[in-house]
């Protein structure tokens, strides 16, 4: 019988003894695969898909050459992409020792992006800067545009490195100024993904620190809320203990829990996001699903509900976004090892939920592609064929899909999502996607920023004009 959760206040932080082995994601477990390492493609069966830059309505309008900014002349690989006020911010991945920082591009002419700055590349040695979020912030302590940058350690054994997130003033994007740093326990790799939101005159960051709970023996938690109203003095105000959920409390055992279907599943925080009002958080907790919180009081959030999986589905809730005024939740699942005993054979795909009642998300549809079930008999462990990140503009869902490129999906009828366009560049390895004005931005792990446009869009060089 399916259990129904009741809303209740989550308080306290419990310390527990860690036992057992964690088998989850690409950090701890029986399968270890590094994203974006194209030199290993022969061994990992990563497909080089047919190139298509102008399928249906998506076309590439710019691929700026990424400058070599390192003193050793080497280039980093690239991670997520974000845009704010006509500027693109591109995070960096692990190639050549990390410390690539964030690359800033002026997109006032999106067909001719200009790289104007690099920041967070020399702040903390032995780290990489995957995720960046930029928002306009007004608090008693700061007024301007604030960037938060995830910091992950290349190795926890490096005594000079540390993880968490950096805060920068990017009011002038060409001249970023460091303001502060929030540090998570040295025992974990750092903050993987994060989100920045305003709540009245308060600014808060929701940080996903995978395995912090495991490595710190419960001293710190995977999901933490940090008040950054004063960016020079970030302060942790709340942490989430999964055992406060009644369905988890009796079975949580060091990054595993026994789900209602009787299977022992991994549970850790991979990603966070917040709706436009700053009231509700959507936290990707892998096989616990997407967990929904009321965070209007960030010091004492209230659990509302979560998404659930079929017994034969690997969970792998990776990230999420919202549509239709916050009544629709899109959840992407990063399944890169498609053959596991007791589960369906499939790479990760997208699920769409009705969340008008946030205490009881209802599955409307599941969106798969030609990649989902294209599983070789051998060497089938790969990120290349799984979905990664989702973004929405209007009734169009944009998905980053590694070797699959960028997919555009019509979700006018959320119970019947339909692919309407696909962009697959040469040697595609698309990490992130973001919608900016009438342009779609993508970040390719090997090649950096891509600027795409709808074929039916009217080119505008004024970033205040929207073509939607």
Structure-token pair, residue 315: 């969970």
Q: Determine the Cα–Cα distance for residues 318 and 349; give it in Å rounded to an integer.
A: 10
pLDDT at residue number 27: 56
pLDDT at residue number 37: 52
Predicted model pTM: 0.89
pLDDT at residue number 250: 84
Q: Determine the Cα–Cα distance for residues 441 and 160; give it in Å rounded to an integer.
A: 34
Q: What is the DSSP string of 42-86?
A: HHHT---PPPEEEEETEEEEE-PPPP--STTS----EEEEEEETT
pLDDT at residue number 111: 93
Structure-token pair, residue 459: 């080119």
Report the length, in residues, of the chain: 468
Cα end-to-end distance, the chain, whole Å: 45
pLDDT at residue number 214: 85
pLDDT at residue number 28: 52
pLDDT at residue number 455: 66
Cβ contact 414:395 at 8 Å: no
Structure-derived torsion over alpha carbons of residues 190, 196, 202, 208, reported in degrees to the nearest 10: -30
Structure-token pair, residue 190: 């750092």
Cβ contact 72:23 at 8 Å: no
Place of tokens 């590439």: 60
Q: Determine the Cα–Cα distance for residues 408 and 425; give it in Å rounded to an integer.
A: 15
CA 224 to chain centre: 16
pLDDT at residue number 256: 85
Q: At 204, phi and psi to the nearest 5?
A: -130, 150
Q: Residue 212: which H helix or E strand, with range?
A: helix 212-215
Provide the 8-state DSSP code for 96.
G
Q: Determine the Cα–Cα distance for residues 372 and 282; give it in Å rounded to an integer.
A: 25
Counts of helices then strands in the chain (DSSP H, E): 3, 33
Q: Which residues of the chain have pLDDT under 70?
A: 1-57, 254, 455-468
Cβ contact 196:228 at 8 Å: yes
């Amino acid at each position: 019988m399916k259990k129904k959760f009741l809303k209740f206040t989550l308080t306290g932080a419990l310390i527990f003894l860690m036992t057992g082995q964690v088998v989850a994601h690409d950090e701890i477990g029986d399968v270890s695969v590094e994203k974006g390492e194209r030199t290993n493609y022969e061994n990992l069966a990563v497909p080089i898909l047919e190139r298509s830059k102008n399928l249906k309505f998506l076309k590439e309008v710019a691929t700026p050459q990424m400058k070599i900014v390192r003193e050793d002349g080497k280039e980093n690989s690239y991670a997520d992409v974000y845009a704010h006020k006509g500027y693109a911010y591109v995070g960096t991945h692990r190639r050549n020792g990390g410390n690539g920082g964030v690359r800033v591009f002026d997109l006032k002419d999106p067909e001719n992006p200009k790289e104007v700055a690099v920041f967070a590349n020399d702040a903390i040695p032995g780290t990489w800067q995957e995720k960046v979020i930029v928002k306009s912030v007004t608090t008693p302590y700061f007024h301007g545009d604030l960037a938060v940058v995830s910091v992950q350690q290349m190795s926890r054994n490096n005594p000079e490195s540390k993880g968490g997130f950096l805060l920068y003033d990017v009011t002038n994007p060409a001249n970023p100024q460091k303001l502060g740093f929030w540090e998570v326990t040295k025992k974990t790799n750092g903050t993987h993904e994060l989100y920045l939101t305003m709540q009245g005159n308060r600014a808060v960051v929701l940080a996903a620190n995978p395995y912090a709970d495991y490595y710190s023996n419960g001293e710190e938690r995977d999901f933490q809320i940090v008040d950054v109203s004063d960016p020079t003095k970030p302060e942790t105000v709340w942490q989430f203990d999964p055992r406060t959920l009644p369905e988890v409390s009796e079975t949580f055992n060091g990054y595993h829990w026994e789900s209602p279907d009787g299977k022992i599943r991994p549970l850790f925080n991979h990603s966070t996001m917040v709706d436009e009002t700053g009231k509700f958080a959507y936290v990707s907790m892998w096989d616990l699903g997407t967990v929904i919180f009321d965070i209007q009081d960030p010091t004492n959030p209230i659990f509302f509900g979560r998404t659930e999986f079929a017994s034969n589905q690997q969970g792998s809730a990776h990230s999420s976004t919202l549509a239709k005024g916050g009544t629709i939740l899109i959840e992407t699942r990063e399944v890169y090892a498609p053959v596991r005993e007791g589960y369906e054979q499939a790479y990760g795909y997208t699920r769409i939920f009705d969340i008008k009642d946030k205490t009881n998300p209802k599955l409307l549809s599941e969106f798969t592609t030609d990649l989902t079930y294209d599983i070789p008999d051998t060497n089938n462990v790969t990120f290349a064929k799984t979905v990664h990140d989702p973004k929405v503009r209007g009734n169009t869902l944009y998905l980053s899909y590694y070797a699959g490129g960028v997919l555009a999906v019509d979700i006018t009828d959320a119970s019947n999502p339909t692919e309407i366009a696909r962009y697959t560049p040469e040697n595609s390895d698309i990490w992130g996607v973001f919608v900016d004005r009438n342009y779609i931005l993508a970040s390719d792990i090997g090649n950096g920023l891509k600027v795409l446009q709808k074929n039916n869009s009217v080119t505008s060089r004024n970033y205040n004009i929207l073509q939607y």
